[in-house]
Chain A
Amino acid sequence: MQKSKFLPRGRKDRTVVLVDIRETKSAKAADLFLQVRPGKDFEMLTILRAMIKGEHVTDDQVAETGLTTDVLQDLIERMKKAKFGVMFFGMGLSMTRGKHMNAAALLTLAAEMNAFTKFVAMPMRGHGNVTGADVIMRWQTGYPFGISFNRGYPRYNPGEFSTVDILVRGDTDCAFIIGADPGATMPRPAIEHLAKVPTIVLDPHVTHTSRLSRVHITTAPAGIAAPGTGYRMDEVPMPLRPALNSPYPSDEEVIRRIKEAIAEKPDWMTDQPQMIFSQV
């Protein structure tokens, strides 16, 4: 592992704490493994927030999370002693009971740790440029995801405008999917709704989602045959250096052409008033 001016002994100068509901292979690589009871992330994070401030928490309250007061006290001491702490979190937090409230609790804990030492929180990313999507949406709309433009200006509300919820409720009547394969990963009711409505897919391969879509357009794979920019998980932008020339157009070109074809049609806000206007 990288040795640096502040961490001259590399891995030995670092502490890795793993929190999970089961002992995974990553536990071997960690210094400390905390096995939290499933669905008790929010309780554990809230207890930690109380304990770092020296608030009293009963042993029973701690026991509910599957951990002990001593273990948490030890964790807090390590956290406060750290020069720079990072909390990485993934879908185990955001897709279990409590959903984005769990992520909110973790972000608050990270913010509150800054009263003692430098701490940040960072979502773990599965796919290439999810971070880029966050950054671009933040730059263009002010919000990172879960956005609705249906009043003509951007509004943000995860739970209402997040894709799984929209599809499970059956709210959308046309889906445009790019660089993702929800047909292979999303819950069944969401996939069933995708198959019901006209779905448009842009992908270098014919995917599960393509098979249930009305329109599939093959595009050049980004970073392999299409140039551009990709964001690393820690929000550092990287230029892509494609090695191949694809016979297919890039995503960028196809979306621009679809956008131009839409722009030629009459404005929807004046010509086709949506429900929000008839309600007023």
Chain B
Amino acid sequence: MELKVIENATCTFCGCVCDDIELHADDVRIHQAKRACVLGKAWFLNHTAEHKYPDALIDGQPATLEEAIQVAADHLYQADMPLVYGMSNTTCEAQRECVEMADLLGALLDSHTSL
């Protein structure tokens, strides 16, 4: 197993978004997060590349990604007033997709900001 060092990694735990973190990682987990605060360390060290959860759950039962995507699309399409909410712990690229999906659906669109 190879140990990688990632310089200037970005921490997205809180709104400060520190971008000077040095990460020491192997294939499965991050072992060290230099210059990160207590919150940042917990954030980096608690995520792993293990297959810990099923790919998807439908009504609580494990399912494949393709099935879950189809069921999700059906629910959203059939709804009269769907809601797209959240978008905090994700990338701007994903947020952009959310806006486009909400436009397509005629949906409500909101983020954590409204809290």
Contacts and interface: CB of A to CB of B under 8 A. Distances in A.
Nearest to B4: A243
Interface in B87-115: 87-115
Interface in A225-248: 225-233, 236-241, 243-248
A26 B49 CA distance: 37
Contacts of B81: 150, 171-174
Contact of A148 (B50, B88, B109): B109
B10 to A, nearest CB: 5
Interface in A182-199: 182, 185, 197-198
Contacts, number: 333
A243 B6 contact: yes
A129 B12 contact: yes
A262 B71 CA distance: 10
A241 B6 contact: yes
Contacts of B56: 215-218
B92 A268 contact: no
Interface stretch (A31-39, A59-67, A68-76, A161-169): A161-169
A158 interface: yes
A180 B29 CA distance: 23
A126 to B, nearest CB: 7
Binding site secondary structure of chain A: mixed
Given A130-B88, A177-B85, A228-B92, A210 B57 contact: yes
B107 A133 contact: no
Given A232-B17, A259-B104, A145 B49 contact: no
B52 to A, nearest CB: 8
B106 to A, nearest CB: 5
Interface stretch (A44-52, A78-86, A107-115, A136-144): A136-144
Contact of A130 (B28, B77, B111): B111
A17 interface: no
A117 interface: no
A143 B93 CA distance: 18
Interface in B1-42: 4, 6, 8-17, 19, 23, 25, 27-30
A256 B100 CA distance: 9
B49 A246 contact: yes
A258 B94 contact: no
B8 A149 contact: no
A214 B106 contact: no
Contacts of B104: 259, 262-263
B86 A125 contact: no
A254 B109 contact: no
Contacts of A173: 79-82
A198 B79 contact: yes
- 5 smallest beta-carbon distances between A and B, as pairs: A228-B91, A125-B15, A180-B86, A174-B79, A128-B12
Interface of A: 91, 94-95, 123-137, 140-141, 144-152, 154, 158, 161-164, 166-167, 171-180, 182, 185, 197-198, 200, 202, 204-206, 210-211, 213-218, 221-233, 236-241, 243-252, 254-259, 261-263, 265, 268-269, 274-275
Given A176-B76, A176-B101, A259-B100, 11 more contacts: A140-B100, A178-B98, A180-B88, A200-B76, A215-B71, A217-B56, A222-B89, A230-B92, A232-B15, A233-B16, A243-B44
